[in-house]
């Protein structure tokens, strides 16, 4: 069962904000929203995660709706190096908690 | 950068030969994981470890064994490699209060 739904692909212009949506309508109260990305041939890279409040770090911002059924990852100033597959994952905290990568969304940043 | 290295980064081997992949972390994180990534399957957990000599199976553990004799090293062994084990292998560690997983650079294994 897919816990998250993401568009297959999107693109944006270099320097502009990239807004990547994710639906997780069946999320449980103790599940976090995680975002990872994978640049071709590299290991998955952790970006950000949150429970219900919006979060920001040096890479991105995570906006979670009040009902927690969807979220948006925002890359404020996309660069060509941000071209990658982005994965939205929901999971409970805990080292034994499964991390399940779906198909993700392919973001292409164009010059 | 979570201080994870994997070796070798690339390996080509023949069916039936033993292969060992190494994951090394520079900090004393308790949990370490081995995943494989294949087209159409995403990342799948092979084995994980929750301490020295403490390991458990993941969803695709058949044909693989692991060992952890030191906190910093987690070894994945293919006792007798098969072509179906051709894949990219990633090691990960978990850090922090929510056990966020961080991944290594990967090992590309080809079994001929």
Mean pLDDT, rounded, of chain B: 94
Write out pLDDT tens, residues A49-80.
999 989 999 999 999 999 999 999 999 999 99
Asked if residue A43 has pLDDT above 80, the reply is yes
Mean pLDDT by 10 residues, chain B (112 residues): 90 97 94 92 91 93 96 97 97 89 96 96
Beta-carbon contacts of A44 under 8 Å, excluding residues fewer than 6 positions away, are A36, A37, A38, A87, A101, B43, B90, B103
How high is the pLDDT of residue A40? 86
For tokens 């020295």, name the residue: B52
Q: Residue A1, exposed/middle/buried by CB under 10 A (0-12, 13-18, 19+)?
A: exposed
In chain B, % of residues over pLDDT 90: 86
Which among B84, B72, B90 has a CA at the least distance from the CA of B35?
A: B90
Contacts of B99 in chain A (CB under 8 A): 93-95, 97
Looking at chain B, which residue has its C-alpha nearest residue A97? B99
Interface probe for B, chosen from A2, A44, A101, A105 (most Cβ of B below 10 Å), is: A44
How high is the pLDDT of residue A1? 46
Interatomic CA distance for residues B35 and B72, integer angstroms? 17
Q: Residue A105, exposed/middle/buried by CB under 10 A (0-12, 13-18, 19+)?
A: buried
The shortest C-alpha distance from B40 to chain A (Å) reads: 8
Backbone angles phi, psi at A81, to 5 degrees: -70, -10
Interatomic CA distance for residues A18 and A21, integer angstroms? 10
């Amino acid at each position: 069962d897919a816990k998250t739904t993401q568009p297959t692909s999107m693109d944006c212009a270099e320097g502009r904000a990239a807004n990547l949506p994710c639906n997780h309508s069946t999320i449980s109260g103790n599940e976090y929203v995680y975002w990872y990305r994978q640049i071709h041939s590299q290991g998955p890279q952790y970006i950000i995660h949150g429970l219900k409040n919006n979060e920001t770090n040096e890479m991105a911002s995570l906006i979670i709706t009040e009902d927690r059924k969807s979220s948006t990852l925002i890359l404020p100033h996309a660069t060509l190096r941000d071209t990658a597959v982005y994965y939205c994952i929901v999971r409970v905290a805990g080292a034994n908690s499964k991390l399940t990568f779906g198909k993700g969304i392919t973001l292409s940043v164009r010059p | 950068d979570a201080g994870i290295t994997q070796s070798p980064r690339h390996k080509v081997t023949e069916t039936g030969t033993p292969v060992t992949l190494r994951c090394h972390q520079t900090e004393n994180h308790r949990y370490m994981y081995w995943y494989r990534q294949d087209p159409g399957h995403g990342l799948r957990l092979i084995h994980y470890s929750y301490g020295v000599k403490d390991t458990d199976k993941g969803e695709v553990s058949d044909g693989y064994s692991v060992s952890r004799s030191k906190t910093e090293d987690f070894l994945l062994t293919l006792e007798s490699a098969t072509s179906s084990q051709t894949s990219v292998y990633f090691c990960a560690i978990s850090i922090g209060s929510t056990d966020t997983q961080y991944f290594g650079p990967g090992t590309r294994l080809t079994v001929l």
